[in-house]
Amino acid sequence: MCRNIRTLYNFQPPATDDELRAASIQFVRKLSGFTHPSHANEAAFNRAVDEVQAVATRLMQSLVTAAPPRDRAEWAARAKARAVKRFG
């Protein structure tokens, strides 16, 4: 799937609406093949993004876990270290 869509669940601080929106846009872009839809497809594209974001928000609110929240800074540092190792 899309490499840029990151796990948003069970982090401290929790995922924001903007992060859910960005993930929804990436998902719809991947499915549609459009980076920027044409004027004729813009309404359908935006509606799909809105619907995916609504579903993602409901999902995030309904998930439960006994695991402690992960630290965002720590996971970002891990990702950066992997990128340095991979790309130099």
Write out pLDDT tens, residues 33-46.
Answer: 999 999 999 999 99
Containing domain of residue 24, as a range? 12-87
Residue 6 lies in a domain: no
pTM: 0.81
- Percentage of the chain beyond pLDDT 90 is 72
The reply to whether 4 falls in a domain is: no
Domain-embedded: residue 51: yes
Secondary structure of the chain in the HEC alphabet?
Answer: CCCCCCCCCCEECCCCHHHHHHHHHHHHHHHHCCCCCCCCCHHHHHHHHHHHHHHHHHHHHHCCCCCCCEEHHHHHHHHHHHHHHHHC
Domains in the chain, number: 1
